[in-house]
Each structure stands twice: as structure tokens, then as C-alpha cells.
Copies of this chain bind each other. A is one copy, B any other.
């Protein structure tokens, strides 16, 4: 294992210390609890949005805390859920009197802890509710959506729910909007290499030297199959066939597209992939509203990428276009 760090045990806390130092105008820990991360700016009367999950996925999760997106994040160890207590601390810090939406990926540890945090918050009179991202089409068959994992597509849920909350919508309205966006986004990922958890020191799984793992999760969860490396065109075709079969488009509908790098995949390759994605979508008569390419949900130094497609409507289009500004993501108002 070769990583830039001081000790494997300090990986998460040293990273958090660096982020707080670098962006102290925008984010801060809740009363010196490094893993309870929240935006410096608080808007009274606005619904708070809190996320959380394991570390190792930057910018996911904490990277979306900031203006126009999320209000706080409970930060776990690498690939580990944060505690209910940490989630509760963040909840208290961000509540502006209008309640708090818990918006995070569909993993059982996170769900259990967020449910417990919600009970603690309830005793303080803070209303909370839960919406999970479950966009990974490769993780369970159609009809079984409730057990699908949440991956990069949650970016769209964060962006739209954050913009909705900024419009001073109610907790119920922000929840309904987040669920709508979640129901309209699908992601398919593929991995070319494993990654190393710092405290473990070696890969927990492998991908053969000439292989691609189709549908592998961002913690190395097994995907649909492993096969010989494919071309960009073949990857794009399989991902879009799978996504569009799962979520058919009506004629004339628009899509937003997210080409997400898993960690060590160069930006060049993400745009090569998008070039093929765009050609296939054009053949299918689907118009692209906007595309994002870069690292949005990683698995440390894993190689590979994911393709997310969001079915647009007018409300989603307007919310995606609103400005946002966090230390890790900016959508400028021009």
C-alpha cells in the first residue's frame, strides 16, 4: 500500500482536519467533533438536509455540503457507517426550525443509524424524515428496487433537494421532490481495479489484469459479471441498454447525464466514454439537457466509472440549473 498519509488510523480525521482548514469560510465541525460536519451558513426557517456515510468516496458525501445543496454530513470511517449519535449531533446543528431531511445511500448500517438519530431528534422536537438513493440498476433486478444500492446518481437528488429547500419549501415538499428525482435516476458502474482500505493495507477484492467487473459496487460489492476488458462503445451500449430498459423514456423526453470516475480514471477516458454515450442517446432520440463528467462518487483509487441518467421534467430542470457552491462542487449563476 502506497498512500499519502501519516498513519492509516488517522486517515479520516487528518483528511477532515485538512478540509476544515482549507474551507473554514464554508464548513466547520459541530463543537470540535471532526466527524460531525456542517455548513457555516444557516438559514432560519429552511428545511435542513443531512447526509452521511462511510469515508473513501469523496466528494461523496460531505463534498455536497454548502450553499444550495446540503446542510450537514455525518462522516464514518472508510466504508463504515457513522454513528447515530454523530447523525443526531449534525441534525441539531443544522435544524432551522423547519425539520431535517435525511438523504443518503441505501445501505443497511446507514439506515439503522439514521432511524435511531431521527428518534433522538424527535425527542428534541425536531421533525425528520428519510429518503434513500437506490440508483444502482446492477445491484438488484427490476421490481426489487428497494434493495438497490445508492451510488453516484444521488448527486442529482442532493442538487435538486438542496435547491428546493432554498426555495423555503416544507419538509414534506422537499421529501416528495427528493423521492421524485430518485425515482427518475439510474446508474450503472464498472470497475477495472480494486482499492485499498488504509487500515487493511491490501485490496479486499480483485479485478483480473485484463478484466472488467460490470456492475461492481463502490465498496467492491460483486457486480453482474466479470469479463475481458471492453471498449468504451461496448461499455456505453451495455450501460444504456440496461438503464433504458429499466427506465424507458417517452418520445421527446430529455436526460441529464453524469459520467462519474471511480478514482483513478483520467478525465480523458470519461469524455471518451461520454462521446459514445452521446452517440447512443442521439440514436435513441433522447436529448441531453446537460452532462457532468468528473469525480462525484469515488472509491478511493479504484479505476472505472459509472454512467447515470436522469429523466428530466420542468421542475427538475429548473432546480438543477440553480446555483450551488460547496468546497467540492460549484454551479455558477451566470
Chain A residues packing against B (C-beta within 8 Å): 2-6, 10-12, 14-19, 21-23, 55-56, 58-59, 63, 67, 192-193, 209-210, 212, 229, 231-233, 235, 263-276, 278, 291, 293, 295, 298, 300-301, 303, 305, 323, 325, 328, 330-334
Contact = CB atoms under 8 A, between A and B. Distances in A.
B2 A275 contact: no
CB-based closest 10 A-B pairs: A264-B264, A18-B271, A18-B275, A4-B269, A58-B267, A18-B274, A332-B332, A330-B330, A22-B291, A21-B278
B278 A334 contact: no
B2 A192 contact: yes
B278 A4 contact: no
Contact of A266 (B23, B231, B300, B334): B300
A275 B265 CA distance: 25
B278 A232 contact: no
Most buried by B among A16, A233, A270, A301: A301
B325 A265 contact: no
A19 B263 contact: no
B332 A15 contact: no
A331 B327 CA distance: 11
Contact of A276 (B6, B301, B305, B328): B6
Contacts of A331: 330, 332
Contacts of A300: 266, 268
A22 B271 contact: yes
A63 B17 CA distance: 29
B265 A301 contact: yes
B272 A18 contact: yes
A206 B55 CA distance: 30
Contacts of A303: 2, 264, 301
A63 B56 CA distance: 26
Nearest to A207: B2
Contacts of A269: 3-5, 15
Contacts of A63: 267
Contacts of A19: 271
A83 to B, nearest CB: 20
Nearest to A208: B2
Contact of A272 (B4, B56, B233): B4
A168 B56 CA distance: 44
Nearest to A19: B271
Nearest to A277: B18
A264 B3 CA distance: 11
18 contacts: A2-B303, A3-B266, A4-B265, A4-B270, A5-B231, A10-B272, A11-B272, A15-B275, A18-B273, A18-B293, A19-B271, A21-B275, A21-B278, A55-B268, A264-B301, A301-B303, A330-B330, A330-B332
A232 B6 contact: yes
Contacts of A22: 271, 274, 278, 291, 293
A255 to B, nearest CB: 13
A301 B4 contact: no
A110 to B, nearest CB: 19
